[in-house]
A and B are shown apart, each in its own frame.
Chain A
Amino acid sequence: MPLTDMNVFASFVLIFVSAAFTDNILLARFLGMCSCLGVSRKVDTSIGLGAAVIFVTSCTSALNYLVYTYMLVPLELEYLRLIIFIVVIAAFTQLVEMIIERVSEKLYNALGIFLPLITVNCAILGISLFMLNKPYSFWQAFAFGLGGGFGWFLAITLIGGIREKINEASLPKGLEGPGITLIIIGIMALGFVGFSGMIKI
């Protein structure tokens, strides 16, 4: 059934699930790898960064959708989307960081310190760009951002959990750190490939 014919809620759920699982931005597209390798050493920090990513992807996909449909398309400047999206995302994260820092120190320590890390995260830009491949409505675009962020959160938390366990084991010197993490990510990616083809939109 084409997306436009479905009721809003059903399409919302469908897009969310497909963005989170079948098209997992970290494990199927391999985006956002740098911050993932850096921060996934512990589950706590993974959850913090993951939550920040969910928040930023959902907000920026909505923002970028508006910018694209109501500014870039009418002006026929679609080819500028890459650079405009980057600027919007960077400004948005900076702004949110300032607001969080002012409003709540607890929230800042849990979430705010990760925001500068994801200002130029490719996963976030990727979600904003991929969202244009399908004829989404505003809410569908938001669902895509939310689902994409959730998929990234899920992946980094799982990786963090595995790495915490693995750090207790004695590894060959050459495999420590990023080496073993990339292998873990590769094996997990194989698992996520199993989801592909489950949903076709």
Chain B
Amino acid sequence: MLASILISVGFLLACGLVLATLLIIAEKKILNYGTCKIDVNAGKKVLEVDGGSSLLSSLAEHDVFIPSACGGRGSCAYCKLQVLEGGGSIGPVEEPYLTKEEREDNIRLACQVKVRKDIQVQIPDELFSVRRFRARVEHKKPLTHDIVELRLKLIEPDIIEFEAGQYIQLESPEYKGKDSVMRAYSISSVPSDNHYLEVIIRLVPDGICTTWVFEHLKEGDELNLSGPYGFFHLSDTEAPNICIAGGSGMAPIWSIVRDMKERGIARPTTYFFGARSQADLFFVDELQQLDKELPWFTYVPALSGEPEGSGWAGATGLITTVVDQHFPDTSKHEAYLCGSPGMIDASVAVLSKNGMPEENVFYDKFS
């Protein structure tokens, strides 16, 4: 009896061991591609990396950060870049994300290209200014029941240069069996405050990164982030602005408006902020103060679900209806939108119905 138990256990163990060793040896021998060179922007930077991992992570190891929201699973398609040589053929995961023109331009998803030999890539120059930062949480302040503001002190490097409207990516560490992920958040602080960064984060139910921020991150903790990314910023024109935001979409607009004030840009600006009830509004006093102080700035909070008789004197209804009432003619304006895809699509529809040309609408879509 005992003997048969021992034999079976021993056999299982031996079997597992043999196969595991075989796999480990195979991985070392077969998947070893040696050292490969990555040539970024025709010799501007040449990196030597160990072959075998993805282009995205190989570049990140050497401090070249390509934006990526999904963390390399091939589902966000943010990490597109031009691979001039050595990228191999397009894989089935990339297939749905690449248009015909992009294929002709050798655009690939960096997370799906494996570095197996020397490779040549072309990335936008702005990405060279993207850095990885170590930062400490200076404060974590609840703004509403599901939105917090983080103020981060930069440690290493201790200074950042960015334009109001750009975003950073926060890295959540591994916790409770969840993988480490990177998530994008717009910067809500102003560029002149360059030793600090502020972000506004709304709790996403079951979201890996936001749950970490809400439940685990404490004041004084250190974290990693990278940035700045993105092309969402104020244009150089003189056109009057319509800003529309909801929820944590407040962040880039909050940054842009205060940046305009600091730099003395007096373009007429109307800021529509949509929320459900008064409890979902934040920065109200600050924004009303700006509204009084600055002749060119108007703040219009609009509530869609405020109960009757609550004493709310401001605008009510969907944000799009309120915008429609205020601006029946938008043909001369520029619009800056930030919020959920649903809100943005609805806003774009109203703005273009009232005459705004498509190229005057700028937005940052969250999903």
Binding site for B on A (CB under 8 A): 45, 71, 75-77, 79-80, 83-84, 87-88, 91, 94-95, 98-99, 101-102, 105-106, 109, 113
Tell me whether A87 and B15 are in contact in the complex, defined as CB-CB below 8 angstroms, given that A109-B89, A109-B92 are known contacts.
yes
Which single residue of chain B is at the shortest CB-CB distance from A108? B91
A95 and B12 contacting across the interface, CB-CB below 8 Å: no
Q: Does B88 sit at the interface, judged by CB under 8 A?
A: yes
Choice from B8, B19, B88 contacting A80 with Cβ under 8 Å: B8
Tell me whether A113 and B92 are in contact in the complex, defined as CB-CB below 8 angstroms, given that A84-B15, A102-B31 are known contacts.
yes
A94 and B23 contacting across the interface, CB-CB below 8 Å: yes
Chain B residues lying within 8 Å of A84, measured Cβ to Cβ, are 12, 15
Which of chain B's residues 1-33 have a Cβ closer than 8 Å to chain A? 4, 7-8, 11-12, 15-16, 19-20, 22-23, 26-27, 30-31
Choice from A87, A95, A106, A109 contacting B26 with Cβ under 8 Å: A95
Which single residue of chain B is at the shortest CB-CB distance from A91? B19
Give B321-341 as 1s and 0s: 1 = Cβ < 8 Å from A's Cβ atoms. 000000000000000000000
Which single residue of chain B is at the shortest CB-CB distance from A101? B31
Give B22-63 as 1s and 0s: 1 = Cβ < 8 Å from A's Cβ atoms. 110011001100000000000000000000000000000000
Cα A113 to Cα B89 with chains together (Å): 14
Choice from A76, A77, A87, A102 contacting B30 with Cβ under 8 Å: A102
Chain A residues lying within 8 Å of B8, measured Cβ to Cβ, are 77, 79-80
Tell me whether A77 and B26 are in contact in the complex, defined as CB-CB below 8 angstroms, given that A91-B19, A105-B89 are known contacts.
no
Chain B interface main SS type: helix
**Across chains A and B, which 5 residue pairs bring their CB atoms closest together, nearest first?**
A91-B19, A98-B30, A105-B88, A102-B30, A109-B91
Cα A76 to Cα B1 with chains together (Å): 13
A45-B92, A99-B26, A109-B91 known; 16 new pairs, CB 8 Å cut-off, are A71-B11, A75-B7, A76-B4, A87-B16, A91-B19, A91-B20, A91-B22, A94-B23, A95-B22, A95-B23, A98-B26, A101-B30, A102-B30, A109-B92, A113-B91, A113-B93
Cα A95 to Cα B30 with chains together (Å): 9
Chain A residues lying within 8 Å of B15, measured Cβ to Cβ, are 84, 87
Cα A98 to Cα B30 with chains together (Å): 7
Chain B residues lying within 8 Å of A106, measured Cβ to Cβ, are 89
Chain A residues lying within 8 Å of B92, measured Cβ to Cβ, are 45, 109, 113
Which single residue of chain A is at the shortest CB-CB distance from B14? A71
Binding site for A on B (CB under 8 A): 4, 7-8, 11-12, 15-16, 19-20, 22-23, 26-27, 30-31, 88-89, 91-93
User: Shortest CB–CB separation between residue B254 and chain A, in angstroms?
Assistant: 41
Cα A127 to Cα B93 with chains together (Å): 30
Choice from A77, A79, A87 contacting B19 with Cβ under 8 Å: A87
Chain A residues lying within 8 Å of B7, measured Cβ to Cβ, are 75, 77
Cα A102 to Cα B114 with chains together (Å): 11
Cα A91 to Cα B295 with chains together (Å): 71
User: Shortest CB–CB separation between residue A133 and chain B, in angstroms?
Assistant: 22
Chain A residues lying within 8 Å of B12, measured Cβ to Cβ, are 80, 83-84
Chain A residues lying within 8 Å of B23, measured Cβ to Cβ, are 91, 94-95
Chain B residues lying within 8 Å of A83, measured Cβ to Cβ, are 12
15 contacts between A and B (CB under 8 A): A75-B7, A76-B4, A77-B7, A77-B8, A80-B8, A83-B12, A87-B15, A95-B22, A98-B30, A98-B31, A99-B30, A105-B88, A106-B89, A109-B89, A109-B92
Chain A residues lying within 8 Å of B89, measured Cβ to Cβ, are 105-106, 109
A77 and B22 contacting across the interface, CB-CB below 8 Å: no
Cα A71 to Cα B89 with chains together (Å): 43
Chain B residues lying within 8 Å of A75, measured Cβ to Cβ, are 7, 11
Cα A71 to Cα B10 with chains together (Å): 13
User: Shortest CB–CB separation between residue A31 and chain B, in angstroms?
Assistant: 24
Which single residue of chain A is at the shortest CB-CB distance from B95? A109
User: Shortest CB–CB separation between residue B12 and chain A, in angstroms?
Assistant: 7
Chain A residues lying within 8 Å of B11, measured Cβ to Cβ, are 71, 75, 77, 80
Which single residue of chain A is at the shortest CB-CB distance from B33? A102
User: Shortest CB–CB separation between residue A125 and chain B, in angstroms?
Assistant: 16
B19 and A88 contacting across the interface, CB-CB below 8 Å: yes
Chain A residues lying within 8 Å of B19, measured Cβ to Cβ, are 87-88, 91
Cα A83 to Cα B12 with chains together (Å): 9
Cα A154 to Cα B23 with chains together (Å): 32
Cα A71 to Cα B22 with chains together (Å): 18
A98 and B91 contacting across the interface, CB-CB below 8 Å: no
User: Shortest CB–CB separation between residue B86 and chain A, in angstroms?
Assistant: 11
Chain B residues lying within 8 Å of A102, measured Cβ to Cβ, are 30-31
User: Shortest CB–CB separation between residue A149 and chain B, in angstroms?
Assistant: 21
Chain A residues lying within 8 Å of B4, measured Cβ to Cβ, are 76
User: Shortest CB–CB separation between residue B94 and chain A, in angstroms?
Assistant: 10
User: Shortest CB–CB separation between residue A14 and chain B, in angstroms?
Assistant: 33
Cα A99 to Cα B22 with chains together (Å): 13
Cα A183 to Cα B7 with chains together (Å): 47
Cα A87 to Cα B11 with chains together (Å): 12
Cα A113 to Cα B12 with chains together (Å): 29
Cα A76 to Cα B4 with chains together (Å): 9
Which single residue of chain B is at the shortest CB-CB distance from A84? B15
Cα A102 to Cα B26 with chains together (Å): 11
Cα A186 to Cα B30 with chains together (Å): 43
